[in-house]
Amino acid sequence: MKQVAILQFPGTNCDLDTQYAFEKLGCKTTIVWHKEKELPQNTELVVIAGGFSYGDYLRSGAIAGFSPIMDSVIEYANRGGKVLGICNGFQILTEVGLLPGALKRNINLHFISKFQTLKVVNNTNEFLQKCNKEEILNIPIAHADGNYYIDENGYKELEKNEQILVRYCDNRGKRAIVNGSVTSIAGICNKNKNVFGLMPHPERALEVVLGSTDGVKMLEGLIA
Amino acid sequence: MKAIVNIFLKEGVLDPQGKAIHHALNAMNFEGVDDVRMGKQIVLKLSSTDKKEALKEVEKMAEDILANTVIEDYTIELF
Protein backbone atom coordinates (compact mmCIF):
# COMPACT_ATOMS: atom_id res chain seq x y z
CA MET A 1 0.00 0.00 0.00
CA LYS A 2 1.53 3.31 -1.11
CA GLN A 3 2.12 5.90 1.59
CA VAL A 4 0.97 9.35 0.48
CA ALA A 5 1.65 12.52 2.48
CA ILE A 6 -0.76 15.40 1.79
CA LEU A 7 0.36 18.86 2.91
CA GLN A 8 -2.02 21.21 4.67
CA PHE A 9 -1.34 24.94 5.06
CA PRO A 10 -3.69 27.54 6.55
CA GLY A 11 -6.07 28.11 3.62
CA THR A 12 -5.58 24.75 1.90
CA ASN A 13 -9.06 23.50 0.94
CA CYS A 14 -8.50 20.46 -1.29
CA ASP A 15 -6.68 18.35 1.29
CA LEU A 16 -9.69 16.19 2.13
CA ASP A 17 -10.69 15.71 -1.53
CA THR A 18 -7.12 14.69 -2.25
CA GLN A 19 -7.12 12.32 0.70
CA TYR A 20 -10.41 10.79 -0.49
CA ALA A 21 -8.97 10.39 -3.99
CA PHE A 22 -5.79 8.57 -2.97
CA GLU A 23 -7.62 6.36 -0.45
CA LYS A 24 -10.15 5.43 -3.13
CA LEU A 25 -7.18 4.37 -5.25
CA GLY A 26 -5.92 2.17 -2.41
CA CYS A 27 -3.25 4.32 -0.75
CA LYS A 28 -2.58 5.03 2.89
CA THR A 29 -2.66 8.80 3.40
CA THR A 30 -1.45 11.17 6.08
CA ILE A 31 -2.38 14.84 6.26
CA VAL A 32 0.75 16.77 7.25
CA TRP A 33 0.30 20.18 8.92
CA HIS A 34 2.71 22.81 7.56
CA LYS A 35 4.36 23.34 10.96
CA GLU A 36 5.72 19.78 10.98
CA LYS A 37 9.41 19.62 10.21
CA GLU A 38 9.56 16.07 8.87
CA LEU A 39 7.51 14.08 6.39
CA PRO A 40 6.14 10.79 7.74
CA GLN A 41 8.64 7.94 7.48
CA ASN A 42 8.29 5.78 4.34
CA THR A 43 6.49 8.54 2.40
CA GLU A 44 6.36 7.42 -1.22
CA LEU A 45 4.55 10.44 -2.66
CA VAL A 46 4.06 14.00 -1.41
CA VAL A 47 0.99 15.86 -2.66
CA ILE A 48 0.64 19.61 -2.18
CA ALA A 49 -3.12 20.04 -2.37
CA GLY A 50 -5.01 22.98 -3.82
CA GLY A 51 -6.52 25.94 -2.03
CA PHE A 52 -5.50 29.42 -1.01
CA SER A 53 -2.55 29.02 1.34
CA TYR A 54 -2.14 32.19 3.41
CA GLY A 55 -5.04 33.75 1.50
CA ASP A 56 -2.82 34.10 -1.59
CA TYR A 57 -1.25 37.13 0.18
CA LEU A 58 1.84 38.63 -1.46
CA ARG A 59 1.66 36.11 -4.34
CA SER A 60 -0.13 32.77 -4.62
CA GLY A 61 2.07 30.19 -2.91
CA ALA A 62 4.80 32.65 -1.88
CA ILE A 63 4.40 32.47 1.88
CA ALA A 64 3.66 28.74 2.04
CA GLY A 65 7.03 28.18 0.39
CA PHE A 66 8.69 29.25 3.63
CA SER A 67 6.68 26.98 5.93
CA PRO A 68 8.72 24.59 8.10
CA ILE A 69 7.57 21.45 6.23
CA MET A 70 8.82 22.77 2.90
CA ASP A 71 12.49 22.27 3.80
CA SER A 72 11.95 18.55 4.09
CA VAL A 73 9.81 18.51 0.92
CA ILE A 74 12.61 20.22 -1.02
CA GLU A 75 15.15 17.78 0.40
CA TYR A 76 12.81 14.87 -0.41
CA ALA A 77 12.42 16.07 -4.01
CA ASN A 78 16.16 16.64 -4.40
CA ARG A 79 16.75 13.05 -3.28
CA GLY A 80 14.45 11.92 -6.11
CA GLY A 81 11.21 11.60 -4.12
CA LYS A 82 7.96 12.08 -6.03
CA VAL A 83 6.07 15.34 -5.43
CA LEU A 84 2.78 16.40 -7.03
CA GLY A 85 1.45 19.96 -6.74
CA ILE A 86 -2.15 20.59 -7.74
CA CYS A 87 -3.31 24.18 -8.40
CA ASN A 88 -2.04 26.13 -5.37
CA GLY A 89 0.44 23.26 -4.96
CA PHE A 90 1.78 24.00 -8.46
CA GLN A 91 2.13 27.68 -7.51
CA ILE A 92 4.04 26.72 -4.35
CA LEU A 93 6.39 24.43 -6.31
CA THR A 94 7.29 27.25 -8.73
CA GLU A 95 7.75 29.70 -5.84
CA VAL A 96 10.29 27.43 -4.11
CA GLY A 97 12.06 26.73 -7.40
CA LEU A 98 11.33 23.00 -7.61
CA LEU A 99 9.58 23.77 -10.91
CA PRO A 100 10.63 26.45 -13.42
CA GLY A 101 8.54 29.48 -14.41
CA ALA A 102 5.80 31.29 -12.50
CA LEU A 103 2.00 31.59 -12.42
CA LYS A 104 0.51 35.02 -13.04
CA ARG A 105 -3.02 36.40 -12.82
CA ASN A 106 -5.34 34.95 -15.51
CA ILE A 107 -5.29 37.05 -18.66
CA ASN A 108 -9.01 37.93 -18.30
CA LEU A 109 -8.56 38.62 -14.55
CA HIS A 110 -11.41 36.22 -13.74
CA PHE A 111 -11.46 33.30 -11.36
CA ILE A 112 -12.14 30.45 -13.80
CA SER A 113 -14.06 27.44 -12.48
CA LYS A 114 -15.26 24.86 -15.02
CA PHE A 115 -14.55 21.54 -16.69
CA GLN A 116 -11.72 21.94 -19.17
CA THR A 117 -10.35 19.66 -21.86
CA LEU A 118 -6.62 19.00 -21.71
CA LYS A 119 -4.29 17.33 -24.19
CA VAL A 120 -1.56 15.00 -22.98
CA VAL A 121 1.67 16.36 -24.42
CA ASN A 122 4.23 13.94 -22.98
CA ASN A 123 3.69 10.63 -21.22
CA THR A 124 7.35 9.76 -20.76
CA ASN A 125 6.96 10.32 -17.02
CA GLU A 126 5.42 8.42 -14.12
CA PHE A 127 2.49 10.79 -13.69
CA LEU A 128 1.05 10.39 -17.19
CA GLN A 129 2.38 6.91 -17.96
CA LYS A 130 -1.17 5.54 -18.02
CA CYS A 131 -2.36 8.18 -20.51
CA ASN A 132 -1.79 8.11 -24.24
CA LYS A 133 0.10 10.87 -26.00
CA GLU A 134 -2.35 13.42 -27.46
CA GLU A 135 -5.19 11.87 -25.44
CA ILE A 136 -7.85 14.41 -24.46
CA LEU A 137 -8.81 14.49 -20.78
CA ASN A 138 -11.72 16.29 -19.14
CA ILE A 139 -10.64 17.74 -15.79
CA PRO A 140 -11.99 20.63 -13.68
CA ILE A 141 -10.00 23.84 -13.27
CA ALA A 142 -10.59 26.46 -10.56
CA HIS A 143 -8.03 29.25 -10.31
CA ALA A 144 -7.33 32.97 -10.63
CA ASP A 145 -3.56 32.71 -11.02
CA GLY A 146 -2.95 30.00 -13.59
CA ASN A 147 -1.34 32.04 -16.35
CA TYR A 148 1.92 30.12 -16.73
CA TYR A 149 4.94 32.20 -17.66
CA ILE A 150 8.43 31.07 -18.58
CA ASP A 151 11.08 32.89 -20.60
CA GLU A 152 12.07 31.73 -24.07
CA ASN A 153 15.16 29.79 -23.02
CA GLY A 154 13.26 28.12 -20.22
CA TYR A 155 10.51 27.16 -22.64
CA LYS A 156 13.00 25.57 -25.04
CA GLU A 157 14.35 23.49 -22.15
CA LEU A 158 10.83 22.33 -21.25
CA GLU A 159 10.20 21.24 -24.81
CA LYS A 160 13.56 19.56 -25.29
CA ASN A 161 13.32 17.56 -22.06
CA GLU A 162 9.67 16.57 -22.59
CA GLN A 163 8.68 18.41 -19.41
CA ILE A 164 5.35 19.74 -20.69
CA LEU A 165 2.65 17.43 -19.30
CA VAL A 166 -0.67 18.85 -20.49
CA ARG A 167 -2.00 21.82 -22.47
CA TYR A 168 -5.48 23.39 -22.45
CA CYS A 169 -7.31 22.43 -25.64
CA ASP A 170 -10.77 22.43 -27.21
CA ASN A 171 -12.88 19.28 -27.73
CA ARG A 172 -10.92 18.41 -30.85
CA GLY A 173 -7.52 18.81 -29.25
CA LYS A 174 -6.67 22.22 -30.70
CA ARG A 175 -4.82 24.50 -28.25
CA ALA A 176 -7.21 26.76 -26.36
CA ILE A 177 -6.47 30.08 -24.69
CA VAL A 178 -7.94 29.64 -21.22
CA ASN A 179 -5.88 31.81 -18.90
CA GLY A 180 -3.07 33.22 -21.06
CA SER A 181 -0.46 30.52 -20.31
CA VAL A 182 2.59 30.32 -22.58
CA THR A 183 1.52 27.92 -25.40
CA SER A 184 -1.54 26.98 -23.27
CA ILE A 185 0.55 25.01 -20.78
CA ALA A 186 -1.54 23.54 -17.93
CA GLY A 187 1.09 21.38 -16.24
CA ILE A 188 4.81 20.61 -16.26
CA CYS A 189 7.41 18.48 -14.51
CA ASN A 190 11.03 19.08 -13.56
CA LYS A 191 13.95 17.85 -15.61
CA ASN A 192 14.38 14.74 -13.46
CA LYS A 193 10.67 13.95 -13.86
CA ASN A 194 9.99 13.44 -10.17
CA VAL A 195 8.29 16.79 -9.40
CA PHE A 196 4.94 17.46 -11.12
CA GLY A 197 2.71 20.53 -11.10
CA LEU A 198 -0.58 21.29 -12.80
CA MET A 199 -3.44 23.79 -12.42
CA PRO A 200 -6.31 21.34 -13.18
CA HIS A 201 -7.71 19.15 -10.38
CA PRO A 202 -7.52 15.42 -11.21
CA GLU A 203 -8.73 14.61 -7.66
CA ARG A 204 -12.10 16.14 -8.63
CA ALA A 205 -12.54 13.83 -11.63
CA LEU A 206 -12.86 10.35 -10.15
CA GLU A 207 -16.61 9.73 -10.21
CA VAL A 208 -19.02 9.32 -13.13
CA VAL A 209 -21.66 11.16 -11.15
CA LEU A 210 -19.37 14.19 -10.86
CA GLY A 211 -18.85 14.44 -14.61
CA SER A 212 -15.55 12.72 -15.36
CA THR A 213 -13.31 9.87 -14.27
CA ASP A 214 -10.29 10.98 -16.27
CA GLY A 215 -8.46 11.94 -13.07
CA VAL A 216 -8.11 8.26 -12.16
CA LYS A 217 -5.54 7.38 -14.80
CA MET A 218 -3.54 10.51 -13.98
CA LEU A 219 -3.28 9.83 -10.25
CA GLU A 220 -2.82 6.08 -10.77
CA GLY A 221 0.39 6.73 -12.67
CA LEU A 222 1.99 8.10 -9.53
CA ILE A 223 1.08 5.14 -7.36
CA ALA A 224 1.64 2.33 -9.86
CA MET B 1 14.44 54.03 9.09
CA LYS B 2 11.78 53.27 6.49
CA ALA B 3 12.17 51.19 3.38
CA ILE B 4 9.76 51.21 0.46
CA VAL B 5 9.90 48.26 -1.89
CA ASN B 6 8.15 48.75 -5.23
CA ILE B 7 7.44 45.58 -7.18
CA PHE B 8 6.39 45.44 -10.82
CA LEU B 9 6.13 42.74 -13.47
CA LYS B 10 9.23 42.82 -15.66
CA GLU B 11 9.18 44.68 -18.94
CA GLY B 12 8.10 42.16 -21.54
CA VAL B 13 5.99 40.15 -19.09
CA LEU B 14 2.36 40.87 -19.94
CA ASP B 15 0.57 42.63 -17.07
CA PRO B 16 -3.16 41.72 -17.35
CA GLN B 17 -4.20 44.10 -14.54
CA GLY B 18 -2.29 47.05 -16.03
CA LYS B 19 -3.92 46.26 -19.35
CA ALA B 20 -7.42 46.25 -17.86
CA ILE B 21 -6.77 49.63 -16.20
CA HIS B 22 -5.49 50.98 -19.52
CA HIS B 23 -8.70 49.83 -21.25
CA ALA B 24 -10.80 51.47 -18.54
CA LEU B 25 -8.90 54.76 -18.87
CA ASN B 26 -9.42 54.72 -22.62
CA ALA B 27 -13.12 53.97 -22.17
CA MET B 28 -13.35 57.00 -19.84
CA ASN B 29 -11.83 59.18 -22.55
CA PHE B 30 -8.54 59.79 -20.76
CA GLU B 31 -6.29 60.23 -23.74
CA GLY B 32 -2.54 60.09 -24.10
CA VAL B 33 -1.94 57.06 -21.88
CA ASP B 34 0.52 54.87 -23.78
CA ASP B 35 0.91 52.08 -21.25
CA VAL B 36 -0.17 51.14 -17.72
CA ARG B 37 1.72 48.84 -15.37
CA MET B 38 0.31 47.84 -12.02
CA GLY B 39 2.54 46.86 -9.12
CA LYS B 40 2.59 46.74 -5.37
CA GLN B 41 4.34 48.70 -2.68
CA ILE B 42 5.57 47.22 0.58
CA VAL B 43 6.55 49.62 3.37
CA LEU B 44 8.97 48.35 6.02
CA LYS B 45 9.80 50.06 9.28
CA LEU B 46 13.36 49.10 10.18
CA SER B 47 15.20 49.29 13.48
CA SER B 48 18.55 49.67 11.72
CA THR B 49 20.11 53.15 11.46
CA ASP B 50 22.87 52.10 9.06
CA LYS B 51 21.66 52.82 5.55
CA LYS B 52 24.15 50.54 3.80
CA GLU B 53 23.40 47.66 6.11
CA ALA B 54 19.64 48.23 5.75
CA LEU B 55 19.82 48.27 1.97
CA LYS B 56 21.68 44.98 1.96
CA GLU B 57 19.09 43.43 4.26
CA VAL B 58 16.08 44.70 2.29
CA GLU B 59 17.68 43.56 -0.97
CA LYS B 60 17.89 40.06 0.48
CA MET B 61 14.25 40.25 1.58
CA ALA B 62 13.22 41.32 -1.91
CA GLU B 63 15.22 38.54 -3.58
CA ASP B 64 14.11 35.83 -1.14
CA ILE B 65 10.41 36.50 -0.76
CA LEU B 66 9.01 39.98 -1.49
CA ALA B 67 9.47 39.69 -5.27
CA ASN B 68 9.40 36.67 -7.54
CA THR B 69 12.38 37.54 -9.72
CA VAL B 70 11.26 35.08 -12.41
CA ILE B 71 8.56 37.58 -13.39
CA GLU B 72 9.08 40.69 -11.24
CA ASP B 73 11.56 43.55 -10.82
CA TYR B 74 11.83 45.64 -7.69
CA THR B 75 13.21 48.98 -6.52
CA ILE B 76 14.11 49.97 -2.96
CA GLU B 77 13.91 53.44 -1.46
CA LEU B 78 15.33 54.14 2.01
CA PHE B 79 14.71 57.20 4.12
Q: Which residue in chain A has the smallest CA separation from B7?
A: A58
Sign for the pseudo-dihedral over CA of A37, A76, A66, B79:
positive
Per-residue pLDDT at A114: 98
d(CA A217, CA A204): 13
* Catalytic residue flag (residue A75): no
Classify A191 as helix, strand or coil: coil
Q: What is the pLDDT of residues A32-57, one digit of tens each?
A: 999 999 999 999 999 999 999 999 99
Cβ atoms < 10 Å from Cβ of B3: 22
Q: What is the mean pLDDT of residues B19-47?
A: 95
Q: Helices (DSSP H) in chain B: which residue ranges? A: 16-27, 51-61
Q: If phi over 0 gives left and psi between -120 and 50 gives alpha, with beta otherwise, what is residue A151?
A: beta
* Catalytic residue flag (residue A87): yes
A149 and B71: CB-CB below 8 Å? Answer: yes
Report which DSSP code applies to A44. -
Exposure letters A37-76 (e unless 16+ CB within 10 A, then b): eebeeebebbbbbbbbbbebebbbbbbbbebebbebbbeb
What ipTM was assigned to the predicted interfaces of this complex? 0.85
Report all structural domains of chain B as residue ranges with CATH numbers, in order of start: 2-78 (3.30.1280.10)
Residue A1 pLDDT grade (very low, low, confident, very high; cuts 50, 70, 90):
confident
pTM of the model: 0.94
- Smallest Cα–Cα separation from A67: which of A50, A86, A48? A48
Residue A132 pLDDT grade (very low, low, confident, very high; cuts 50, 70, 90):
very high
pLDDT at B75 over 90: yes
Candidates B36, B66, B68: best to mutate against A (most CBs of A within 10 A) is B68
Q: What is the pLDDT of residues A156-194, one digit of tens each?
A: 999 999 999 999 999 999 999 999 999 999 999 999 999
Sequence ranges of the domains in chain A = 3-223
State chain A's mean pLDDT as an integer.
Answer: 97
Per-residue pLDDT at A45: 98
Residue A102 pLDDT grade (very low, low, confident, very high; cuts 50, 70, 90):
very high
Residue A224 pLDDT grade (very low, low, confident, very high; cuts 50, 70, 90):
confident
Chain A residue numbers with beta carbons less than 8 Å from the beta carbon of B71 are: 102, 104, 149
Report which DSSP code applies to A175. B
Q: Looking at domain A3-223, what is its CATH homologous superfamily?
A: Class I glutamine amidotransferase (GATase) domain (3.40.50.880)
d(CA A79, CA A201): 26
